[in-house]
């Protein structure tokens, strides 16, 4: 059965923090602040997988108190992927859109795509980039966000 889940995440940006996106460290004067390593792409993808399976959300799987500050998000996604495999599910396609004013990310598209393909064991991976034209918290460079749709065969 084909299923689609939609994930979304947003984190504040601050100086002196690493900017992790899709498990890749991106050179940037500002990094994301939040739970774990604040990787909005992996968090949105996790919610996409969970949404496709109707398995709740990232907060119900990984309560804030149980996730250490700075902890990599890759192992969290790996836990969800283990459960998906145990349920006979596979990810067929992911389409992620990262919303960030600066730095421009197109240079990193191959690294993001390869990282997601490996972590999701998925050959069809799309990563897109948007700015918000100076509007709102993302446009003012105060936040980074990501949408992800995930198609699962389960």
Binding site for Mg ion (CB under 5 A): 9, 43
- CB 115, min distance to Mg ion, A: 17
Give CA–CA dist 120/45, Å, rounded. 9
- CB 43, min distance to Mg ion, A: 4
Q: Which is nearer to Mg ion, 92 or 100 (CB)?
A: 100
- DSSP label of 83: H
Q: Which is nearer to Mg ion, 63 or 134 (CB)?
A: 63
Q: Which is nearer to Mg ion, 17 or 43 (CB)?
A: 43
9 class by beta-carbon count within 10 Å (0-12 exposed, 13-18 middle, 19+ buried) = buried
Cβ neighbour number for residue 41 with a 10 Å cutoff:
29
Residue nearest to Mg ion (CB): 43
Cβ neighbour number for residue 97 with a 10 Å cutoff:
17
- CB 75, min distance to Mg ion, A: 15
């Amino acid at each position: 059965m084909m299923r689609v889940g939609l994930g979304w995440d947003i984190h504040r940006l601050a100086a002196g923090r690493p900017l992790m996106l899709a498990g890749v460290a991106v050179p940037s004067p500002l990094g994301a602040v939040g739970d774990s390593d604040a990787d909005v792409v992996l968090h949105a993808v996790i919610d996409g997988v969970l949404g496709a399976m109707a398995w709740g959300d990232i907060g119900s799987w990984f309560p804030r108190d149980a996730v250490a500050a700075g902890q990599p998000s890759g192992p969290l996604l790996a836990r969800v992927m283990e459960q998906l495999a145990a349920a006979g599910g596979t990810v067929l396609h992911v389409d992620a859109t990262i919303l960030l004013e600066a730095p421009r990310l197109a240079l990193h598209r191959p690294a993001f795509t390869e990282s997601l393909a490996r972590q999701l064991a998925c050959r069809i991976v799309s990563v897109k980039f948007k700015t918000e034209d100076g509007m709102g918290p993302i446009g003012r460079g105060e936040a980074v966000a990501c949408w992800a749709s995930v198609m699962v065969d389960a």
